[in-house]
Homo-oligomer: A and B are copies of this chain.
Amino acid sequence: MKKISLLVSGLLLASNTAFAIGDAELLKLAKDSGLKPIPKKDYPASKLTATQELGKKLFFEPRLSKSGLISCNTCHNLAFGGADGVSAVIGHKWTANPHHLNSPTVYNSVLNAVQFWDGRSPHLADQAQGPIQAGPEMAAPKELVVARVTTMPAYVSEFKKAYGKDIKITFEKITDTIAEYEKTLITPSKFDKFMDGDTKALTKAQKAGLKLFIDKGCTACHNDVGIGGTMQPFQIHAKYSYAKGDFVGNKDGMVKTPTLRNIEETAPYFHNGNVWSLKDTIKEMGSTQLGLAINDKEAASIEEFLKSLTGKKPNITYPMLPVISDKTPRPDMN
C-alpha cells in the first residue's frame, strides 16, 4: 500500500514539474517571463486604406527591381510564412547573399524592435530602402525606382489618392508606403488567445511545451509581443560560419532574435538557413545558445508549443498592377 502511494505521489510530482501546472499559473508564468499577446487594436482591419492598398501593389511590384523580375514578395513570400524557403537570399543575376544571410519573415516584422539581422535599421520604412537598392538583391538605384513608378500613370494617380494631389513621389515615399502595407501583416494566433485569458486555446501538449520553453530559458531572448525581435548575444554564427565575410552580428556581436511567430512555416532556420528541421533548431539553440541539453522529447514538446504561434494570415487579394508607358525605363538583366 505504501509502495503504491509512493509511486502515485512520485507520478504526480513528475507530472507537476513536467506540465501539470494549473492554467492560471501557466498564464501568470508566461506573463512574468515577458511573453505578450498582440494587442487587439493591432489586429488587421478587414479593409486596407488607400495608402495600404498602394503599399501592397508596391510590395508585389517586380518593376521596382532593376530586372523587373524581383519584388519584395519574391524573398518575403506571403504565400509561405513571409519568407522564401531557401537558405541564403538569391537576388539579381542569381546572386546569393554575400554573407549567406537568410530572408527573415515579413509577417509581424513591425513587432521587431529593429530590422535586419544586425539590427542596423530602426523601422520598416528604413528597412525597405535596403534590399531594393542592394546589388545582390533588387539592384535598383533610387532614381530608377522613382522613374519606373512615376512613368506609370496609374501609380501617380494612386499616390495622389493616398497622399493628396501635391504629393511628390520620392524613393523614400515609395518605401514608406511599402512599410504602411507591411505593418498590416499581423497574424494573431492561438497563443494570443491564451495570453488574453482563453486558456483553452492551447492544447495540453502546447501548454506543456510552453512551460518547457519558459523553463529552459528561451524567453530570455524570445519574448515580448514579437516573441523575438530584439538584439541579443548570439553564438550560432561562430559554429556555422562557412567563409570569410560570413555574418557575425553587429559590431558588438549582437544579432536580432527572429520572431517565433509562424516559425513552422519559415524553414530553413538560423541567420544562414543552415538547419531545416525545427526540432534540430531547438536542440541546437539549447546547446549552443543556452548551454544546456534539450533532448528529442523536450524538443518535440517545445515544437508543439511553437505551432500555436502559427497565426491567421490576412486575406490577400492579389493586386493588379499598372500598365507601363512609353517613358517607363525598360528591364535591365545585367
Interface residues of A (CB under 8 A from B): 60, 62-63, 67-69, 74, 77-81, 84-87, 90, 93-94, 96, 264-265, 267, 276-277, 313, 315-321, 323-324, 326, 330-331, 333
Oligomeric state, in copies: 2
Contact of A94 among B63, B78, B93, B330 (CB under 8 A): B93
Complex contact B320–A86 (CB within 8 A): no
Interface centre among A78, A264, A323 (most CB of B within 10 A): A323
What residues of chain B lie closer than 8 Å to A313, measured between beta carbons?
320
What residues of chain B lie closer than 8 Å to A63, measured between beta carbons?
85
Complex contact A324–B94 (CB within 8 A): no
What residues of chain B lie closer than 8 Å to A81, measured between beta carbons?
323
What residues of chain B lie closer than 8 Å to A318, measured between beta carbons?
78-79, 316-318
Instruction: Known A-B contacts: A63-B85, A68-B86, A313-B320. Give 16 more (CB < 8 A).
Output: A60-B79, A62-B77, A62-B84, A62-B85, A68-B84, A69-B84, A79-B321, A80-B321, A80-B323, A85-B324, A96-B333, A264-B323, A277-B326, A315-B317, A316-B317, A317-B317
Q: A69-B84, A94-B333 are in contact. Are A323 and B265 (CB under 8 A)?
A: yes
Distance, CA A86 to CA B319, complexed state (A): 19
What residues of chain B lie closer than 8 Å to A324, measured between beta carbons?
85, 267
Task: Specify the chain B residue showing the minimal Cβ separation from A262.
Answer: B323
Contact of A69 among B90, B317, B320 (CB under 8 A): B90
Task: Specify the chain B residue showing the minimal Cβ separation from A88.
Answer: B333
Q: A79-B319, A317-B316 are in contact. Are A90 and B67 (CB under 8 A)?
A: yes
Complex contact B330–A276 (CB within 8 A): yes
What residues of chain B lie closer than 8 Å to A74, measured between beta carbons?
69
Distance, CA A85 to CA B265, complexed state (A): 31
A55 to chain B, nearest CB (A): 15
Distance, CA A318 to CA B320, complexed state (A): 12
Complex contact B86–A333 (CB within 8 A): yes
What residues of chain B lie closer than 8 Å to A319, measured between beta carbons?
79
A189 to chain B, nearest CB (A): 14
Distance, CA A264 to CA B264, complexed state (A): 42
Complex contact B60–A86 (CB within 8 A): no
Complex contact A79–B320 (CB within 8 A): yes
Distance, CA A68 to CA B83, complexed state (A): 12
Q: Which 9 A-B pairs have the closest CB atoms?
A: A94-B94, A316-B318, A79-B321, A86-B331, A318-B318, A80-B321, A93-B94, A68-B85, A265-B323
Task: Specify the chain B residue showing the minimal Cβ separation from A265.
Answer: B323
Distance, CA A320 to CA B264, complexed state (A): 14
Distance, CA A265 to CA B68, complexed state (A): 15
Distance, CA A68 to CA B80, complexed state (A): 12
Distance, CA A74 to CA B67, complexed state (A): 13
A326 to chain B, nearest CB (A): 6
Task: Specify the chain B residue showing the minimal Cβ separation from A264.
Answer: B323
Distance, CA A81 to CA B321, complexed state (A): 9
A79 to chain B, nearest CB (A): 5
Could you name 17 residue pairs across A and B whose Cβ atoms are closer than 8 Å? Answer: A67-B90, A68-B86, A78-B318, A79-B318, A79-B319, A80-B323, A81-B323, A85-B324, A85-B331, A86-B331, A90-B333, A93-B94, A265-B323, A267-B324, A277-B326, A317-B318, A318-B318
